[in-house]
Structure 1
């Protein structure tokens, strides 16, 4: 099942899935509509432009959905997991003590 979209503020920390994780592997696709760019991968799944919950990853276009590549996150069977999306083209300022 694929779900989306969540509108997140830059540099914010948000909980998208509440409770203990139910699987080891999760897949992420994100788009920065403000500055441009996206976080994607090779695992193709169905999406659409508005909020969605889509069952199945086959025949996306034939079923009227878009298809995007998601990247895989291996949680190592942890009960909770945090992922930070950063801009790979922008150098971050060094952390201050």
Structure 2
């Protein structure tokens, strides 16, 4: 007999657009602020940016449409790099050789899972599982 599996705890991004989207996530960890990227999220698919039970209340997301240049942004400045990255700290991005982008804050309310739906028309939607 197979038992029903529990919903997996994670922070996911789903791409409801017609184009490839690159996504980066920011969060607070023991060693300080962390930003990580890039996850390539093809049209109509989802990607898990953080696996396991979410440890923080707030997570931050920045995403770009690879084909059209559209962006999903916010007003929390964090560091990103051109290629795959994991950066500790959000200050002095340019001086450290990184770019600075505005990330959108998501208040997960300490839920174990969170999903952000990116779309062409309405921006983003968020939900917990």
Q: TM exceeds 0.5?
A: yes
| 1:34, distance to aligned residue in structure 2 (A) | 1.7
Match of 1:41 in 2: 74
Structure richer in strand, relative to its length: 2
For the aligned residues, what is the CA RMSD?
1.5
Which structure has more relative contact order (CA 8 Å, sep 6+)? It is: 1
Match of 2:109 in 1: 76
Unaligned ranges ≥5, structure 1? 90-97
1:2 aligns with 2:35: yes
Unaligned ranges ≥5, structure 2? 1-33, 123-129
The alignment of Structure 1 onto Structure 2 pairs a total of residues equal to 90
Q: Distance in 1 between matches of 2:53 and 2:106?
A: 16
Q: Distance in 1 between matches of 2:115 and 2:46?
A: 9
